[in-house]
Structure 1
Amino acid sequence: MADSWKLIAHAPKGVVHAALLAHEDVEEWDPEIVVTGHEIAEDRPDEWVLEAYLPRRPRKEDRESFAALFAGKPPALVTEKVRPADWVTESQRGVEPIRAGRFYVHTPDHLPSAEPGVTSFEIPASQAFGTGQHATTAGCLAMLSAMKRRGVAARNVADIGTGTGLLAFAALKLWPRAHAVASDIDPVCAPVVAENAERNGFRIGARPGELAVAVAAGMDDRRLRECGPYDLLIANILAGPLVELAPDFADSMPPRGNLVLAGLLAAQERAVRAAYRAVGFALAGRIVNGDWSILWLRRRFIG
């Protein structure tokens, strides 16, 4: 297993937000370098960190590219070797359960909820994102619950960038007779989704109420194309890919189809909404969870 490294920069929240926006605008960013930003702790909401994960020891040009994301003088950069363990799993150990919408998400270290009318999902720390702890995932759970409450019906569902499968499971719980497919660009997610499906009582398959799994970049997969069009499509990824995928999502959905978008900072919302307005979507609902926006869009009739 190759060594992994990361570059770290601590800065105020606004500075890190601006750096994340700058990263979205870099057209030739090295795809092997994954950039993330987050607050240090809940009780220190204005103290943030920007991190870049690399599959190699950072080179001079890597440090320069990372530093260039900051306007003016960049903060001090720290280079750190990532321990030979899955850093996603390590970051999720000991996390507390969350309650979002109709759902309660917990790790195996915690018991399911005893609250009537609440569905519990057991999602262990894993090699994939999407345990419900991040504000975007929790916001999607709340948004799906609100859509069900407002009478949305879903017969054909896609969860793009599924990670652990959690949002697909939530959709199947809300619309149990739907056809559903979950996809992710990361091949490691397929066995993770299959394991979590078994853990939570879902079957992998292509019949109503079952979950098909695909490994794909965006909608670039035969199974995804064949299973469409989708009257409910969920995409919790990043603002840049959401903008790029707007035409493909539009082509995969019928008029009045419902689209849930997440993974975008509130500061990135205007650009994402503009991209989807251009291909025929209108805003139906919006949740702001911390610094993140969760959007419910509905496709208009094009005539």
Structure 2
Amino acid sequence: MPTFTAFTTLTGKDPAEALGLAMERLTPEPTGIGVFEIEDGSGLWEVGGYFTEDPDRAGLALLANMHGAADFTVSELPETDWVAKVRRELAPVEAGRFFVYGSHDADRVPEDRIALLIEASMAFGTGHHGTTQGCLRALDRLADAGVAPRSVADIGCGTAVLAMAAARLWEVPVLAADIDPVAVEVAAANVAANGLTGRVACVEAAGFGHPDIEAAAPFDLVFANILKAPLLALAPDMGDRVAPGGHAILSGLLNEQAAEVAMRYADCGLDVEDREDIGDWSTLCLLKRIE
């Protein structure tokens, strides 16, 4: 089945959202519409649509003119077996003692590494992104330092790669939580595929908002590989639910965002013990003060 894309840019969130809504009335209808801010300080927003038929180019031109947008760029995408493509291009990732791989690379797993099987999926966290690598490497350094948590939580777990890494290091209860039900399903499937059912529990929750998480708190180690805004909002809860002397590993942060997040968490009793930048992304390892 062919796939067509149509993209344009314009200034301002409200006009961009209005254009996105207007695109829904096109015939043929788009199968999906996205409205995103271009994070380069220009104030421009990108509006795009995906179509399974050649879109109405005259209609797109009219919408662009009505909403003060640039002309739409329409492209036909080649038919691609995306699963096969991802499997070919996602090489295994080594992060400290951890080896993250897909089933197509099962014959490449080194004997001296902790192997984590993660298939490419709709959930975030295959290990290839600098944020996930940073968290795994921070975890590796904690283990080298002799840290031995008695309870672990992974907030915003995605594929549960971090939760599983902790479960492989220590025989302790690990809770993996995500607000996205698809991520929770993917996480549970990965936990089963890695033989960790019963050691990692996957729950659907926003932040720490789940009875199982509340019952298990405080935690000696918490992962939160999400984004700046939810990390800032999560800081007070993190301060309450990380045990004194415990650690929090945070990522999903651009390098220039790390200082602001670190200051917010310091106000909640968690101080930066370690920071690593991988490309544009920062990972913070925080230590909860013992009052």
State TM-score, norm by structure 1. Answer: 0.72
Q: Is the 8 A contact 1:105 1:131 kept in 2?
A: yes
Q: Using a 3 Å threshold, how does the CA distance of structure 1 residues 90 and 296 change in structure 2: closer, same or farther?
A: farther
- For residues 250-273 of structure 1, the C-alpha deviation after alignment (integer angstroms, 9 at most, x for no partner) is 111121111000100111001100
For structure 2, the 5+ residue unaligned runs are 21-29, 54-78
Tell me the CA shift for residue 198 of structure 1: 1.6
Contact 2:87-2:104 at 8 Å conserved across structures: no
Report the counterpart of residue 295 of structure 1 in structure 2. Answer: 284
Over 3 Å counting, the alpha-carbon distance change for 1:57 and 1:131 in structure 2 is closer
1:191-202 map, 5 Å: 191-202=185-196
Determine the structure 2 residue equivalent to 1:153. Answer: 148
2:41 to 57, 60, 71: 71
1:245: Cα distance to partner? Answer: 0.3
**Cα deviation per residue 1:238-287 (whole Å; 9 max; x = unaligned)?**
01110110001111112111100010011100110011011111111111
- The CA deviation at 1:139 is 1.2
Residue 111 of structure 1: CA displacement? 2.2
User: Deviation string for 1:116-138 (max 9, x for gaps)?
Assistant: 42111221111211110111111
Kindly tell me: are residues 244 and 79 of structure 1, through their superposed partners in 2, closer, same or farther at Cα, counting changes over 3 Å? Answer: same
User: Which among 46, 51, 57 is matched to residue 33 of structure 2?
Assistant: 57
- The question of whether the paired residues in 2 share the 8 Å contact of 1:88 and 1:126 is answered with no
Alignment of 1:245 with 2:240, yes or no, is no
Whole-angstrom CA distance in 2 between matches of 1:230 and 1:156: 5
Query: For the residues of structure 2 that align with 1:6 and 1:232, how far apart are their CA atoms?
Result: 45
Give 1:132's aligned residue.
Answer: 127
- Which residue of structure 2 lines up, in the alignment, with residue 97 of structure 1? 92
Identity of aligned residues (%): 36
The structure having more radius of gyration, on CA atoms, is 2
**Taking structure 1 as reference, are residues 193 and 246 closer, same or farther at Cα in structure 2, changes over 3 Å only?**
same
**1:19 match:** none
What is the rounded CA distance, in whole Å, between the counterparts of 2:4 and 2:288 in structure 1? 42
| Aligned 8 A contact 1:106 1:112 in 2 | no
| Cα distance in 2 for residues equivalent to 1:88 and 1:300 | 47
Cα displacement (A) at 1:80:
4.0
Partner of 1:46: none
- Checking the alignment, whether the CA contact within 8 Å between 2:153 and 2:175 is kept in structure 1 is yes
2:99 and 2:37 map into 1 onto residues whose CA distance is: 37
SS for the counterpart of 2:33 is coil
Aligned alpha-carbon RMSD (Å) = 3.3
Secondary structure, aligned partner of 2:284: strand
- 1:278–1:123 CA distance, 2 compared to 1 (3 A): same
Aligned residue among 165, 169, 194 for 2:160: 165
- Segments of 5+ residues of structure 1 without an aligned counterpart are 10-25, 34-53
Aligned partner (choices 176, 181, 193) of residue 187 of structure 1: 181
